[in-house]
């Protein structure tokens, strides 16, 4: 299995315990949550009593219960001898079946895996959570040999209804397992094992589109180039990913999906992100609990990231899209009508990668990936132990004789140390010229003067983060650049 080492270790430790575990797994749709559990208990550790059930989107409770009973029969070949009408009765039947199996296979772990749990009873109107809580409290937890795993793509639902439950599951979760997209290194390993032979730049460009999402990467055909695959998957009305964007939000948020999608769409128009008040202005709505909840849930689900302005950590938070797939979709696919897509040439994306528009988008995407994967930067800088946070900073002046400035990435460390980071994605060495040198000096000067005005002790380090490094010239040497990080350092 590629990656997921920490996740597998956690599951192995839970298997080895002499007590029961209630584990909450959550992460973006298509990220590989179900695959992880199936790999662990169907391929790697088969010596357990295993039961799984998958919730179905937009299905009535009585039909969900029917599917639950069908799964019990599928796994254990046992049918109920009476009508079951609610979740309490359904879990009671599961208990009786498991007791029979436990008598036959003593001392084995019992794994109950409930996948896509937010779909089972989205509003908890059918009593599913209460029934699950009773199953755990009265049966699974006291027996010491259970692993109950609940899993779903809607992280905000799991956090609210399972991990922060105020009812029978209050403080019952023993382990939480948030699943992130593959890192750049893991994406490279996956593509290599799939038959691709790519350099690091092409791995990054694939990541800019698919974002390390395992299922999306599985659609790639190694007989085609990355660009040809993108054309086939996105710019084709029959492509696997042409309609995926809409389905992501519908599956996660149900009938209210448009309010979440609308926030993503206004953020998709602003490279540097928007504050909450700016989001409301763009949507023509007032700030209230509804929009605050929507933004929070989008963060919890991994679609957006809030970045604070240095010095104003609780205010002036700018929200920006952190999901590469969504960024790509908004820049390239959304502007095209279905009719336009139907008439695109087969090699459309092959042509687009040579355009200036592509250069602009890839530069923004590179910076966004670094923000969302800050640990890659810290690893390259060997500075993780002292890390405090990552911010943006800007200064707007009213003085006509002074220019303002925008610093997209300020990395804060302990003891007053700061990295002022410049991200540049180019096809060759990046060349610092006279005007760019002046701009960088102005950033450092104004950040020290206005951003650190209350700081008694500070040290600034200018860091260049580029695809192939910076060309050594007089302007480069004149800046006292602390580090010149290249793409290869991140993979």
Domain edges within the chain: 5-179, 185-371, 374-490
Contact 325, 213 (CB under 8 A): yes
Q: Give 144's DSSP letter.
A: S
Q: Give 146's strand partners.
A: 110
So what's the pLDDT on residue 42? 74
The residue to which tokens 């206005």 are assigned: 450
Residue 235 tokens read as 């710019």
Prediction pTM value? 0.86
Residue 6 tokens read as 């920490």
β-pairing, 387-395 vs 405-413, is antiparallel
Say how far apart CA 427 and CA 445 lie, in whole Å.
30
Cα 194 to its chain centre, rounded Å, is 22
pLDDT, average across residues 229-249? 92
Element (H, E) at 434: helix 434-446
The residue to which tokens 């998709």 are assigned: 268
- Whole-number mean pLDDT of the chain? 90
Residue partners of 214: CB distance under 8 A and separation at least 6: 30, 31, 32, 35, 181, 182, 190
Cα 251 to its chain centre, rounded Å, is 16
Q: 363 by DSSP, 3-state: which?
A: helix
So what's the pLDDT on residue 132? 95
Indicate whether 378 pLDDT > 70: yes
Query: What pLDDT, in 10s, does the model give residues 199-209?
Result: 999 999 999 99
Same topology, domains 5-179 and 185-371? Answer is no
- For 5-179, CATH number out of 3.40.605.10, 3.40.190.10, 3.40.50.300, 3.20.20.70 equals 3.40.50.300
Q: For domain 185-371, give the fold.
A: Arc Repressor Mutant, subunit A (1.10.10)
Of 211, 208, 195, nearest to 352 by C-alpha is 208
So what's the pLDDT on residue 44? 63
Q: Which residues of 26-50 are buried (b: 16+ CB within 10 A; e: fewer)?
A: bbbbbbbbbebbebbbeeeeeebbb
Q: For domain 374-490, give the fold.
A: Trna Endonuclease; Chain: A, domain 1 (3.40.1350)
pLDDT, average across residues 329-351? 92
Indicate whether 313 pLDDT > 70: no
Percent of the residues in the chain that have a pLDDT greater than 90, as a whole number: 60
Query: What pLDDT, in 10s, does the model give residues 95-145?
Result: 999 998 888 877 788 999 999 999 898 777 778 999 999 999 999 999 989
């Amino acid at each position: 299995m590629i990656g997921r080492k920490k996740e597998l270790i956690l599951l192995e430790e839970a298997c080895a315990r002499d007590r029961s575990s209630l584990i909450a797994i959550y992460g973006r749709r298509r990220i590989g949550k179900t695959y992880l559990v199936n790999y662990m208990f169907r391929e790697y550790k088969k010596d357990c009593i295993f039961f799984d059930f998958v919730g179905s989107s937009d299905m009535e409770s009585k039909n969900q219960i029917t599917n639950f009973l069908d799964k019990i029969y599928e796994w254990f070949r046992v049918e109920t001898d009476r009508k079951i009408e609610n979740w309490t009765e359904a879990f009671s039947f599961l208990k009786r079946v498991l007791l029979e199996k436990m008598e036959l296979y003593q001392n084995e772990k019992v794994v109950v895996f409930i996948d896509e749990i937010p779909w089972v009873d989205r509003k908890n109107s059918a009593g599913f959570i209460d029934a699950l809580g009773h199953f755990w409290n009265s049966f699974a937890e006291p027996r010491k040999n259970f692993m109950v795993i609940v899993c779903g793509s809607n992280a905000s639902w799991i956090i609210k209804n399972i991990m922060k439950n105020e009812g029978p599951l209050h403080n019952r979760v023993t382990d939480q397992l948030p699943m992130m997209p593959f890192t750049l290194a893991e994406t490279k390993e996956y593509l290599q094992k799939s038959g691709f032979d790519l350099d690091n730049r092409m791995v990054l460009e694939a990541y800019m589109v698919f974002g390390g999402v395992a299922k999306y990467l599985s659609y790639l055909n190694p007989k085609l180039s990355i660009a040809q695959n993108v054309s086939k998957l996105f710019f084709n009305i029959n492509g696997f990913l042409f309609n995926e964007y809409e389905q992501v939000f519908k599956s996660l948020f149900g009938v209210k999906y448009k309010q979440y999608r609308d926030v993503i769409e206004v953020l998709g128009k602003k490279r540097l992100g928007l504050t909450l008040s700016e989001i409301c202005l763009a949507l023509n709505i007032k700030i209230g609990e509804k929009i605050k909840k929507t933004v929070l849930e989008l963060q919890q689900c991994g679609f957006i990231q809030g970045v604070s302005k240095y010095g104003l950590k609780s205010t002036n938070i700018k929200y920006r899209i952190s999901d590469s797939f969504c960024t790509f979709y908004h820049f390239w696919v959304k502007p095209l009508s279905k009719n336009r897509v139907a008439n695109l040439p087969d090699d459309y994306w092959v042509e687009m990668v040579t355009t200036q528009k592509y250069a602009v988008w890839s530069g923004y995407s590179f910076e966004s990936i670094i923000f969302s994967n800050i640990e890659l930067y810290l690893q390259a800088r060997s500075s993780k132990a002292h890390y405090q946070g990552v911010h943006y900073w800007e200064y707007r002046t009213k003085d006509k004789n002074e220019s303002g400035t925008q610093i997209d990435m300020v990395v804060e460390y302990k003891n007053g140390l700061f990295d002022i980071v410049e991200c540049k994605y180019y096809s060759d060495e990046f060349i610092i010229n006279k005007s760019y040198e002046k701009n960088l000096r102005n950033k450092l000067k104004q950040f020290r003067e206005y951003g650190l005005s209350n700081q008694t002790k500070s040290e600034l380090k200018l860091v260049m983060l580029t695809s192939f490094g910076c060309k050594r010239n007089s302007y480069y040497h004149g800046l006292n650049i602390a580090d010149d990080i290249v793409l290869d350092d991140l993979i």
